[in-house]
Amino acid sequence: MGQPEQKTTGIFEYKNSSILERKPESISKIMLRKYMKNKLAVFSAIILLLIISAAIFAPIIAPYDPSEQHLLEALSPPGEKYLLGTDDLGRDTLTRLLYGAQVSLIVGFTSVAGSIFIGTVVGAIAGYFGGLIDAILMRFVDVIISFPSLFLLITLVTIFEPSLMTLISVFALFGWTGTARLVRGEFLSLRSREFVLAAKTMGIRSWRIIFSHILPNAMGPIVVSATLGIGGVILAETALSYLGLGIQPPKPSWGNMLQSAQSLKIMIEAWWFTLFPGLMILITVLSFNFVGDGLRDAFDPKINE
Amino acid sequence: MITYIVRRIMMAIPLLFGITILSFGIIQIAPGDPTALMIDPMIRDKDLVAYKELYGLNDPIYVQYLKWVGNMIQGNFGDSLIRQGVAVNELIMARLPNTLLLMLVSTILAIFISIPIGIISATKQNSLADYTFTFFSFLGIATPNFWIGLVLIMFLSVHLGWFPTGGVATLNEPFSIWDRIHHLILPSIVLATADVAGLTRYIRSSMLDVLKQDFIRTARAKGFKQKKVVYKHALRNGLIPVITIFGLMLPSFIGGSVVVEKIFGWPGIGMLFFDAAFQRDYPVIMAITVIASALVVIGNLLADILYAIFDPRIEY
């Protein structure tokens, strides 16, 4: 509009050609560029992708069957035949680590998806409506947060028989409180902004304002808390499985692979038995944490590139 | 100040009631009848009814709940289902000193390790030392506690023989302080690691915030030495937010003790809870869950009150 007239003077010509006509960069592009500058976060994302693909393609790349026992070669040290050694029943450690990755990742992703969903809905309702609803929901959150979670997990898992489904539901049903507090905070600050007032004035229904107007603006912190949450769930799952309250053998999980690590024979002769599952947990959780940190910085407009 | 403390305590009471309701509710949804565990399956129906009457299992649920809470307030947690005739109180009191000792020592350990590290990281921001500490604290946060325990036992106890592999004292030997300390070292280190990793991060960022403030610049401008500025002016203010963090870390700390006690065969509350969970000894499970959560609530209450005492800017 009105561009031909503006072009008559030199200054306008300059402005038009180089600054005003340049398309503003999209937010996702800016975030991607910020993320890519964080070397550690990029490296961790690559590691995670490798672990995820290793878990998906475990049946193809694993050298053995996860429950195949070679009793005569029990506790073989890492070597050509068994890359990372064998366990006390002669099962290949590498194979079991690959299949264990499936379990840890499935538990991590699905239970966090569940807890993020519950936490977002509760936090959004509490933050948007405020008042009595907010007070009741937040006191409920306070109660759940006051329980030392491991006590709660152990109680529930023993009540409902330990299994993959029990683990996932327990993590999802009791892991949402942090997200709820976070989303509530976001909604409290967003609900009085002009665009929400505008939507209200136009008579748009509450649930639509919540989910299609406010929620997209609160996605950043939610994604970050989901990423960091997966690491936390994997740590809890491995601890429970180690204690015999999680994934049950013979199905391998990084936690239950360590169940007999405390036998004296293994402690003296088979360092690889204890070392590798722990390293896998450490590397995976560390990568999720670094990716989460990288995302947090990328989403934060206050942090400059 | 007094009104603040009273108000804060009043807020904790409904929380405690919420905790008892949730603990009670969880056990109620458990499939199966609690009597099934302790009664002879050949029992006659008439006796079963009398038995249920005796234990109040025929009452409506809310009556059962109120009775349970009423007894609990008087300090009576009922009898163990598995070890019949033994009061839950007795079981807990026998184990409590061990757990308190372990927690106290590892808390002190965590504070004495993380404060200096946090200060060094903050005063020498972006130095090699800062990066090293940051690296190790990220590692500490991402490493499962039980695995650190396993690795330490494997190397330090089994291979090098420096420490016992578990227990509170050497069996069949007269009591000696050194023996007790010797047994305490590894479990308290393992329990402290998770806290140290988190605390150093918080102390570092809190100190960084304080060191940027005007009064620190004023102190420097007055010619105070770096040591005095950091330890006398900054540290006092830098540690205030850490009080709250300490309260928030309490649940995972108490939960962590279950795992550590299990690995080191440390006969404390955590092990009692673990065994009770495996045997579905509900009265013990419920008692420990309620006590642990109450400890968390009280811990956070204390943290808030301490915060108000140390930070006069807080309005009551």
Most confident of A73-82, A162-171, B233-242: A162-171
d(C-alpha B82, C-alpha B276), whole Å: 8
Cβ pair A290:B15 closer than 8 A: no
Judged by a CB distance cut-off of 8 A, whether residue B256 touches chain A is: yes
* Residue A207 three-state SS: helix
CB atoms within 10 A of CB A4: 7
Per the model's pLDDT, the better-predicted residue between A188 and B167 turns out to be: A188
In this prediction, residue B33 carries a pLDDT of 60
Question: Contact A145/B251 with Cβ under 8 angstroms?
Answer: yes
**Residue with the two structure tokens 């590692």:** B139
What distance in Å separates the CA atoms of residue B292 and residue B124, rounded to the nearest whole number? 39
- Tell me, what amino acid is at A227? T
Q: Which residues pair with A86 in a beta bridge?
A: A92
Q: What pLDDT does B316 receive?
A: 54
CATH second-level architecture of A36-55+71-299?
Orthogonal Bundle (1.10)
Report ipTM for this prediction: 0.82
pLDDT band, residue A2 (cuts 50/70/90): very low
pLDDT given for residue A245 in this prediction: 86
- A59-68, B275-284, B295-304: least confidently modelled range: A59-68
Report DSSP letters for B244-309, one per residue. Answer: HHHHHHHHHHHHHHHHHHHHTT--SHHHHHHHHHHHT-HHHHHHHHHHHHHHHHHHHHHHHHHHHH
Question: Residue written as tokens 């199966």?
Answer: B32
Q: Which of A40-54, A258-272, B49-63, B210-224 has the lowest mean pLDDT?
A: B49-63
Distance from C-alpha of A260 to C-alpha of A168, rounded to nearest angstrom = 24
Report pLDDT for A3: 47
pLDDT higher than 60, residue A15: no
Residues B49 and A229: their CA atoms lie apart, in Å, by: 48
Confidence of residue A7 (pLDDT cuts 50, 70, 90): very low
Full DSSP string of A68-92: ---GGGTTPPSSSSSTT-B-TT--B
Q: What is the pLDDT, as a whole number, of residue A105?
A: 93
Predicted confidence band of residue A17 (pLDDT cuts 50, 70, 90): low
The set of long-range contacts for B133-137, using a CB threshold of 8 Å and a minimum separation of 24, is: B133/B200, B133/B204, B134/B201, B134/B204, B136/B197, B137/B196, B137/B197, B137/B198, B137/B200, B137/B201
B254–A231: do the CB atoms touch at under 8 Å? no
Selected residue with higher pLDDT from B45 and B283: B283
For CA atoms B84, B87, B91, B92, the dihedral sign is positive
* Confidence (pLDDT) at A143: 86
Q: Which has the minimum average pLDDT: B105-109, B136-140, B217-221, B259-263?
A: B217-221
Alpha-carbon distance B95 to A287, whole Å?
39
Q: CB B263 to CB A238 under 8 A?
A: no
- Residues of A within 8 A of B255 (CB-CB) are 148-151
Let me know: does A148 contact B257? Beta carbons within 8 Å. Answer: no
What share of chain B has pLDDT > 90, as a percent?
Answer: 3
**Confidence at residue A215, expressed as pLDDT on a 0 to 100 scale:** 87
Q: In the 8-state DSSP scheme, what is residue B44?
A: -
Taking residues A67-95, report their average pLDDT.
Answer: 76
For the residues A216-230, what does the mean pLDDT come to?
A: 88
Residue A4 has pLDDT above 70, yes or no: no
Q: Are B199 and B253 in contact (CB under 8 A)?
A: no
- Pick A172 or B50 by higher pLDDT: A172
- CA–CA distance, B71 with B78 (Å, rounded to integer): 8
With CA atoms as reference, the chain A residue closest to B257 would be: A150
Reduced 3-state DSSP string for A10-48: HHHHHHHHHHHCCCCCCHHHHHHHHHHHCHHHHHHHHHH
Asked if B22 has any chain A CB less than 8 Å from its own CB, the reply is yes
- Rounded distance between C-alpha atoms, residue A169 and residue A171, angstroms: 5
pLDDT at B17 over 60: yes
Distances (CA, A) of A137 to A119, A173, A209, B264: 11, 15, 20, 40
Band the pLDDT of B32: cuts 50, 70, 90.
low
Q: Answer yes or no: is pLDDT of A80 > 50.
A: yes
Better pLDDT: B20 or A1: B20
Length of chain B, in residues: 316
- Does residue A14 carry a pLDDT above 60? no
Residue A52, pLDDT score: 93
pLDDT digits (tens, 9 = 90+) for B130-178: 889 988 888 988 999 889 999 998 888 887 878 887 777 777 777 777 8
User: How many angstroms separate the CA atoms of A44 and B272, rounded?
Assistant: 40
Q: Give the model's pLDDT for residue A304.
A: 62
Number of alpha helices (DSSP H) and beta strands (DSSP E) in chain A: 15, 0
DSSP designation for B160: S
* Cβ-contact A138, B18 below 8 angstroms: no
Give A-chain residues touching B160 at CB under 8 angstroms: none
What residue in A sits closest to B23 (Cα-Cα)? A152
Q: What is the CA radius of gyration of chain A?
A: 25
A23 secondary structure, DSSP code: P
* pLDDT tens column, A266-300: 777 778 888 899 999 999 999 999 998 888 888 87
A13 pLDDT higher than 60: no
CATH entry 3.40.30.160 includes domain B93-310: no
Q: At B37, is the pLDDT very low, low, confident or very high (cuts 50, 70, 90)?
A: low
Taking an 8 Å cut-off on Cβ atoms, the answer to whether B251 and A139 are in contact is no
Residue B231 is given by DSSP the state I
Residues 28-47 of B with CB under 8 A from A: 29-31
Average pLDDT of the residues of chain A: 83
3-state helix/strand/coil string of B271-284: HHHHHHHHHCCHHH
The ranges assigned to domains in chain B are 2-73, 93-310
| Tokens representing residue B38 in the block | 């302790």
pLDDT at residue A16 in the model: 52
- What token pair was written down for A292? 């989460």
B183 phi/psi in degrees, rounded to 5:
-75, -25
| Residue range A60-77: mean pLDDT, rounded | 76
Give SS3 for A19: helix
Contacts of B144 in chain A (CB under 8 A): 235, 238-239, 242, 255, 278, 281-282
